[in-house]
């Protein structure tokens, strides 16, 4: 399928999805969000893809939802289309691992999109924020919920109430991003991390993703039960036999996703 607001490249089992609305700092309008979700679903069902990277430009991962598009909407409009529910549901339904490679602005919906990914690698130029309050609205794609789980109440309140931006180092210290790399090396580092994941058993990687994500939804005792059940079930796979045999035989495992 041909896309107008994103670019998709698939190489070495990694789908690199680049947001591409340079004139609007990758503001997330309906078209871009729709194309992004379709590209993610395509990658999820493509046997050649084992890990996905989403990135933007040097200046902006995404500067938020498209304010021009939203400004004309009424309560009835946004309520009837359930604005942003579809994007949230479609991205969270992706089973393969997704890395956000963030340079420049990741604001509002941009920060929320990065948080919808499984982890964030940030360039040293990255700036995160939930400035919706300056527009007379609150976050609508996870900025008051996921951000609070990532960075805790105090910093999340600070971000959501003052609308200030967090730089990459602060975001790493706060636990929002997993690592900070020089801007010039962002794509190289993100793709290399994705390739490392692509070398694992896909079955196991998807199970690990599912288990970590459950930790956001469940109390600890239920989460531990879920983890243990999934862990036990891995012993029914060929990849568990292969992984452990390869360790004992001092060779690289050849996983077959079975």
Ligand X SMILES: CC(C)(O)CC(=O)SCCNC(=O)CCNC(=O)[C@H](O)C(C)(C)COP(=O)(O)OP(=O)(O)OC[C@H]1O[C@@H](n2cnc3c(N)ncnc32)[C@H](O)[C@@H]1OP(=O)(O)O
Residue positions annotated with a catalytic role: 65, 109, 112, 132
Residue 181 pairs in a beta bridge with 123
**How far from chain centre, in Å, is Cα 39?**
14
Report CA-CA distances (Å) from 176 to 120, 127, 130, 181. 7, 11, 13, 14
Would you say 97 or 110 has its CB closer to ligand X? 110
Would you say 97 or 131 has its CB closer to ligand X? 131
Q: In angstroms, what is the minimal distance from the CB of 90 to ligand X?
A: 15
Would you say 35 or 132 has its CB closer to ligand X? 132
How far is it, in rounded angstroms, from Cα 130 to Cα 106? 9
- Count, residues in the chain: 258
Residues 6+ apart with CB under 8 A from 140: 65, 83, 84, 109, 132
Per-residue tokens: 95? 């089973």
Q: In angstroms, what is the minimal distance from the CB of 221 to ligand X?
A: 33
Report CA-CA distances (Å) from 99 to 120, 127, 135, 165, 222. 6, 17, 29, 21, 27
Per-residue tokens: 192? 């290399």
Would you say 37 or 107 has its CB closer to ligand X? 107
Q: In angstroms, what is the minimal distance from the CB of 122 to ligand X?
A: 16
Q: In angstroms, what is the minimal distance from the CB of 42 to ligand X?
A: 23
Per-residue tokens: 76? 């009835």
Per-residue tokens: 13? 């089992």
How far is it, in rounded angstroms, from Cα 26 to Cα 35? 13
Would you say 112 or 118 has its CB closer to ligand X? 112
Would you say 97 or 108 has its CB closer to ligand X? 108
H or E element in which residue 54 lies: strand 51-55
Q: Are 108 and 139 in contact, with CB atoms under 8 Å apart?
A: yes
The residues of the shown chain that bind ligand X, judged by CB under 6 A, are: 24-25, 27, 63-68, 84, 105, 107-109, 112, 131-132, 135, 139-141, 143
Q: In angstroms, what is the minimal distance from the CB of 109 to ligand X?
A: 3
Q: In angstroms, what is the minimal distance from the CB of 161 to ligand X?
A: 14
């Amino acid at each position: 399928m041909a896309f107008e607001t994103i670019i998709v490249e698939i190489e070495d089992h990694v789908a690199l999805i680049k947001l591409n609305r340079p004139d609007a700092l990758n503001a997330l309008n309906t078209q871009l969000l729709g194309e992004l979700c379709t590209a993610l679903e395509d990658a999820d069902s493509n046997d050649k893809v084992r890990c996905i990277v989403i990135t933007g430009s040097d200046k902006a991962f995404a500067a938020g939802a498209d304010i021009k598009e939203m400004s004309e909407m009424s309560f009835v409009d946004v309520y009837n289309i359930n604005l942003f529910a579809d994007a949230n549901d479609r991205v969270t339904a992706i089973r393969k691992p997704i890395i956000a490679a963030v340079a420049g602005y990741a604001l509002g919906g941009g920060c929320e999109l990065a948080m919808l990914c499984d982890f964030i690698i940030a360039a040293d130029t990255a700036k995160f924020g939930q400035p919706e309050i300056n527009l007379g609205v609150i976050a609508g794609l996870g900025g008051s919920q996921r951000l609070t789980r990532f960075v805790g109440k105090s910093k999340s309140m600070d971000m959501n109430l003052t609308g200030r931006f967090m730089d990459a180092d602060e975001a790493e210290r706060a636990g929002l991003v997993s690592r900070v790399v020089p801007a010039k090396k962002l794509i190289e580092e993100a793709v290399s991390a994705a390739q490392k994941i692509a070398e694992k058993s896909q079955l196991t990687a998807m199970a690990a993703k599912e288990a970590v994500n459950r930790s956001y939804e469940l109390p600890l005792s239920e989460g531990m039960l879920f983890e243990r059940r999934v862990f036990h079930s891995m012993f029914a796979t060929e990849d568990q036999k292969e992984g452990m045999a390869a360790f004992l035989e001092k060779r690289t495992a050849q996983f077959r996703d079975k």
